[in-house]
Structure formats: structure tokens, C-alpha cells
Amino acid sequence: MTKNDTVLLVEDELLVAMEIQDLIEDVGLATEGPYSTVAGANEALGSIQVACAVLDVRLRDGDIFPVADELCARGIPMIFHSGHATPDQITSRYPDAIFFEKPCVPAQIVQTIRQLTGKEQLVA
């Protein structure tokens, strides 16, 4: 897999992470993660390349913003998936980010990932 086929997944709710990961992999993309902490995701950023990221806002060890700031600096598209933020809070800080409020249908997130990675032709 190349960086264009890999999605960073940062989510601390195990069942949510597993469902999103399965859907991502079902359409032929790879998942880096899931990471359940800011520290783990930050450490991973030192050695990975990804096409886009799916980020929960509130994690076990704090808010995702240090990771999101680094992704933004690298120009990596971000999809926020959270019940602890509003679209305005996210888009005021990250204008190009996409926001899904929990709960949402994970397939919506995966369809957005497919668009961001140019994989729309893949069948879920």
C-alpha cells in the first residue's frame, strides 16, 4: 500500500474504531491505527505517511489538536468524528476539515474518505 491508500485512524471507542477500520479496509484502503491516545498518534506521525485522517476529538489523554495541527501543517485532509465538538469549533480552527457529529453512519465517513483519496470507484 502507498500513502495514497492509507488512512490514519484515531479513535478511543473500540467498537467505533473497529467498525470504521473494517469499512475502510473493505473498500481496499489500509488503516494506520487505530490509535486511542494523542501520544500514540503523535508518535506514529514521526514515521508514517497517510492520505487522510479520521480523528476523534476527545481521547483518553486529551484533545486531538496537537495531532491535527501537525496533519494540517502537512496538508493532510482531516475528517473529525466527535460528540465533543461542534462543526463551528472545528472549522474555525481547521477550515478545510470535514466534521461528522457522533453518532453518525460510519459509511458516510468512508464515502468521504473514498472521495479524499480518489477511490470513489471502489465498491463498499
d(CA 95, CA 62): 22
pTM of this prediction? 0.89
Q: Left, alpha or beta for 62 (phi > 0: left; psi -120 to 50: alpha)?
A: left
Give the ranges where 3-105 is alpha helix by DSSP (H).
14-26, 38-45, 65-73, 87-93
Per-residue pLDDT tens digits for 48-95: 889 999 999 999 999 999 999 999 999 999 999 988 888 889 999 999
User: Cell 466527535, residue?
Assistant: 82
- On average, the pLDDT of the chain sits at 89
| Whether the predicted pLDDT of 20 surpasses 50 | yes
Query: What would the CATH number be for the domain defined by 3-117?
Result: 3.40.50.2300
Contact 55, 78 (CB under 8 A): yes
